[in-house]
Chains A and B, each alone.
Chain A
Amino acid sequence: MYEHDVIVVGAGGAGLRAAIAAHEEGADVAIVSKLHPVRSHTGAAEGGINAALREGDSWEDHAYDTMKGSDYLGDAPAVETLCKDSPKETIQLEHWGMAFSRDDDGRVSQRPFGGLSFPRTTYAGAETGHQLLHTMYEQLVKRGIKVYDEWHVTRLAVSDEDDPEDRTCHGIVAYDVQTGKIEGFRARNGVILATGGLGQVYDHTTNAVANTGDGVAMAYRAGAPIEDMEFIQFHPTTLPSTGVLITEGVRGEGGILYNKHGERFMFEYGYANNLGELASRDVVSRAELTEVNEGRGIEDEYVHLDMRHLGEERIVDRLENIIHLSEDFEGVNPLEAPMPVKPGQHYAMGGVETDENGETCITGLYAAGECACASVHGGNRLGGNALPELIVFGKRAGHHAAGKDMKTAEITTGKVGDYEPADVESPVQLGEAGLGGDAVADGGERTDGGATADLSGDEVVQRALDDERETIEHLLEKEDGIQHAEIRERVQKSMTQHVNVFREEEALKDALRDIREARELYQDVYVADKSRTFNTDLLQTLETRNILDIAEAITVGALARNEFRGAHWRKEYQERRDEEWLKHTMLSWNDGEPELWYKPVILEGENKTYEPKIRSY
C-alpha cells in the first residue's frame, strides 16, 4: 500500500494546482493520473482566463457577469470567491513564466469574450490551456512532486456509515496500466478529485477520449451528492467531422456567423440583438440549431463562421492555431473560406457537490475543476471562466486538504438544513442493475454484511482494494459476454439524440430506457484482452461503467427540471421559473438506488443580493 498525506486524482489544471498548493503547505502530496500530466485535456483549452486585472474592471463586475451567465443558478459565495481570487492566481501563473500574449506596453493581453461586460479574458494566443498546463507541470517538476502516471483510479476507499455526511475518505484504489497491478493508496489527510470532464457520455464532443467523468462517478457511488448534472454546455463552434473546438476568441476578435443564405442570423433573426455572436454559448448553440432545423443550415448540418475580414496579420497574431485546426481536421483554410461549425458537447456545469473550499460532505474528500460543482457556473458557464476555476479552486482544495487554516465555507454540503425531497417520474428502474440496494458505500456488493465504519483507515483501503481486485479479476477471467465498446456506443448515440441542446419529455424517457438496457448489458461485460500489460481494453471497460452512471444522472436531472434555464432547454417549459426552480438538482447514489432532492441556490453575496433578471444579450 502506498501512503501520502494528500492524494490528487487527475493531473490537469486543477490537479496540478491542488498538488502545488498542498506542497506549499508542507504536505507529502502525490498525483495519481491515468494520463501523464502533459496529456491532460486542460491543454486543449484555447480562449483564456477571466480575471479583473485592469483599471475600470472589478471583481464585482466579473461576479455580476458570471451570475447572469449562470442564469442565477450559481452560488454567490463560490462565484465571488472565483472572481476575487482569479486576478492574483492569474498573475501567479505569469510569475511562473507562462507565455501570455502581450500588449505594446509589455503587460498581459486581455480580450472580449461572450457574456463579459469588460474585455477581461487573459490569453496566450489561442492555446491558453496548453500554456497553462505546461507552466504548471514545470512547477510540479521543480518541486519534485511525485506523480503516479498511467495509473487509473477505479474507486475511492470510503467508510460506509448510513449517512454520507458521516463518512470519511481514507484513500483510493488504482490500477497501474503499464503493469496491471492493482494497489491501494492511503491518504492520511485527504483525496482531491480533479478528473475533469465527462464529454465521452456523448458522441459529438470537444472532450478527449479520456474524459469519462471518472471522478464524478466514483464520488457519486461513494455517497457524495452530485449537483446540477443536467446542465451541459454545448459549444457553438465545433468542427462537424471531429468535434474539434474553434475558440470563442474567433468571435471575440470579430468573427461572424452566417447561415446558408449569407444572413448574419444572430441579428437578422433576433437571437441576440445586442451582443450578436458574443451572446452566451447556449444562446448561440440554440440559434445555430434553430437555423439548421428551419432549413437555413448548410448541408442541413452546420453554419459558417467567417473571420476572413479580420485580415491575415491579425488572425496569425491572435488566432494562429485556428488556421491549423481548421486545415488539419476539416480541410478548410479559414484565410480563404468560412469554417463550418456546429454545436458540440463541451463542458459539464454540474459535478460533485463542494463548498468554496473544495470540500464535499464526505470528510477528507475534495473535488476541484470541471468534475466539481461549487457552484460557479450554475446553468451555464461563461467562456474564460473554466481556467480560473481550475487555479482558484484547485489551490483552495490543496490548501484545505493540507490542513491550512481557512475561513469556514458558507456553502453547506450534503443533506443538511434546508433541503427538499423530490421524485422523478422514470419509466424504468434507476441505479445499479442487479443490486437490491445492498451496495456498500463505494458501489460493490457487501461482501460480509459488515459496516466499515469502525475500521481503521488502512483497513478501509484494504477492503476497497480486495473488492476491486475481485471485480477486475472477474472481468479478466470471464471468457465471453459483451464488449464495452458496443455498450458505450449505444449510450453515446442515445445521449446525443435525446439529451442534447433541445430536450423533451418523451425523448428523455427514451434515453433512460436505453441507459437501463445498457446497464443490463453491462452486467455481462467481459474483457477480451487477457494481458496484464497496458490493457486499455480493461481500462475502457471500467470507464464505461462511469459513463453509464453519469449518463443516467444527466438525464434524470433533465427530466426533473421542468423549466428552461441556462443551457437546459425544455420543449414543454419555455420559461425560466424562478418561483419554483431557484434550486440545485441533487442526486444521491443511495447505495445503488438513486435519490433526487433539491437545495436552494444562494444569491446573497458579500455586499449585495443578485436579483434574477431576464438574461438577454
Chain B
Amino acid sequence: MSTQVPEQVEDESSAESVSPGKQKRDAKKRERAERLQEQREAEAAEKARTADDTYHLKVFRYDPEVEGKQEPRFDDFYVPYKQGMTVLDALMWARDHYDSSLTFRHSCRQAICGSDALFVNGSQRLGCKTQLSDLSEPVRVEPLPHADVVKDLVVDMEHFYDQMEAVEPYFQTNSLPDEDEEQRQTRENREKVKMSTRCIWCSACMSSCNIAAGDNEYLGPAAINKAYRFAMDEREGEEMKQRRLEILEQEHGVWRCQTQFSCTEVCPKDIPLTEHIQELKREAIKNNLKFW
C-alpha cells in the first residue's frame, strides 16, 4: 500500500475577471456558510450534552501524513444515544457532527457488504450489526488486528483478498447441460453448502485467527470456507473435488488450523468455519492424500 503524496498540481485559476458584485456576493455566501457551520457544531455539542443518554467512544486514530496523527492515538467522542443505535451509527454521527476526517469503510448498513468489520471492545464485529446497548463504556473502536492500518479504522485488505483468490474461488465442472437447462442439485446438497455461501468477505475471521497472524501464507478460515463451498457442491463432480482437496492440503492449508474456534466465534454470518475446516481435514484423510 502506497501512501505517497502525489505531486501538487499548479493552480492556474485567476481572480482577475471577477466583478466587485460577485466578490461581495461570494463574501456574503461565505459568511453565511461559516455561520451555518458554527451553528451546526454548537448544536451537536448541545445535543450531546443534553441527551438523556450519551455514549462515550474511544476511537483509534492514525494518518501517516497528518501531523499529530502519525503516532496512533485515541480520540474521545460523546454521541447522543437513540434506541437501536449501532457502533456504525455512532461513528457516522461523530464524523458528520464533530470530525469529518474520521475514516472508516461502510456501505450497506445491513451486514451484507462486509465493509465495516472492526475491533470493538476487544473483539471482531461488524459495526453496523453491533448495538451500542450491548457494550460497556467507554466503547473502544479499533481497526482489525493483524492487518496494516491505512488510516484510522481502515485496514489494508489486499492480503485477505489474495488468500481468497488463491483457492480457485469459482465454480468448475466438466459437464454442463444445454444452455437452456439447469444442472440438478438436491435440496440436501444445497443445504450442505448454504452456510458456506453466506460469507461476506469481512475478514473478521482472518483477523481473529492466531495461526494466520503467525503464518502469513496460511490460507485462513474465509478462503478455506470458500473452497469448502465448491468442494462440497455436488454439481462440480468428484474429479474437481479431488483437485480442490489437493489445494487445501498443501503446507499452508487446512492442517494449519488448530481448532481454536476464534473464527467461528466472530463470524457475523454464523458460518461454522472451524467445522468446515475439520470436515475438509476428514475428507483429505479419507482420500488418503499426503499431508504435512
Contact = CB atoms under 8 A, between A and B. Distances in A.
A241 B197 contact: no
Interface string B1-33: 111111011011100000000000010011011
Contacts of A41: 107-108, 113
A101 to B, nearest CB: 7
Contacts of A182: 6
A536 interface: yes
Contacts of B26: 523-524
B201 interface: yes
A474 interface: yes
A406 interface: no
B84 A241 contact: yes
A99 B179 contact: no
Contacts of A325: 110
Nearest to B29: A524
Contacts of B179: 88, 91-92, 95
Contact of B96 (A87, A130, A477, A485): A485
Interface stretch (B72-80, B168-176, B248-256): B168-176
Interface stretch (B45-53, B186-194, B277-285): B186-194
Contact of A477 (B1, B6, B11, B181): B11
A482 B26 CA distance: 13
B223 to A, nearest CB: 12
Given A105-B184, A178-B150, A179-B3, A528 B114 contact: no
A261 interface: no
Contact of A470 (B6, B9, B173): B9
B37 interface: yes
A82 B182 CA distance: 19
A43 B113 contact: yes
A482 B6 contact: no
A213 to B, nearest CB: 15
Interface in A453-509: 466, 469-470, 473-474, 477, 480-483, 485-486, 489
Interface string A119-150: 00000010100110011001101100000000
B230 to A, nearest CB: 7
Given A41-B113, A210-B107, A179 B2 contact: yes
A465 to B, nearest CB: 10
Contacts of A520: 29
Size bracket, chain A contacts: 35 or more
Contacts of B11: 470, 473-474, 477
Interface stretch (A327-335, A365-373, A424-432): A327-335
A447 B100 CA distance: 31
Interface string B61-93: 001111000000000000000011000000000
B113 to A, nearest CB: 4
Contact of A95 (B8, B151, B154, B183): B183
Contact of A528 (B97, B100, B165): B100
B185 interface: yes
Contact of A533 (B32, B36, B114, B150): B150
B150 A40 contact: no
B101 A537 contact: yes
Interface in A71-123: 87-88, 91-92, 94-97, 99-108
Which of the four size classes fits the interface of chain B? 35 or more
Contacts of A571: none
Given A35-B107, A524-B30, A537-B101, A125 B169 contact: no
Nearest to B2: A179
Contact of A180 (B5, B84, B161, B182): B5
B74 to A, nearest CB: 18
A267 interface: no
A44 B186 contact: no
B33 A482 contact: yes
Nearest to A486: B40
A35 B186 CA distance: 35
Contact of B171 (A103, A135, A521): A135
A173 to B, nearest CB: 13
A208 to B, nearest CB: 4
A616 interface: no
B100 A485 contact: yes
B109 interface: yes
A104 B115 contact: no
25 contacts: A43-B112, A43-B200, A91-B182, A96-B170, A100-B182, A101-B190, A106-B184, A127-B198, A130-B198, A141-B165, A142-B170, A208-B107, A208-B109, A208-B113, A209-B109, A210-B107, A241-B84, A328-B129, A329-B84, A485-B96, A485-B97, A486-B37, A529-B101, A532-B5, A533-B3
Given A95-B179, A209-B106, 9 more contacts: A108-B182, A142-B170, A242-B109, A466-B9, A486-B40, A524-B30, A528-B99, A532-B3, A533-B63
Interface of A: 35-36, 38-41, 43-44, 87-88, 91-92, 94-97, 99-108, 125, 127, 130-131, 134-135, 138-139, 141-142, 178-182, 208-210, 241-245, 324-325, 328-331, 447, 466, 469-470, 473-474, 477, 480-483, 485-486, 489, 520-521, 523-524, 527-537
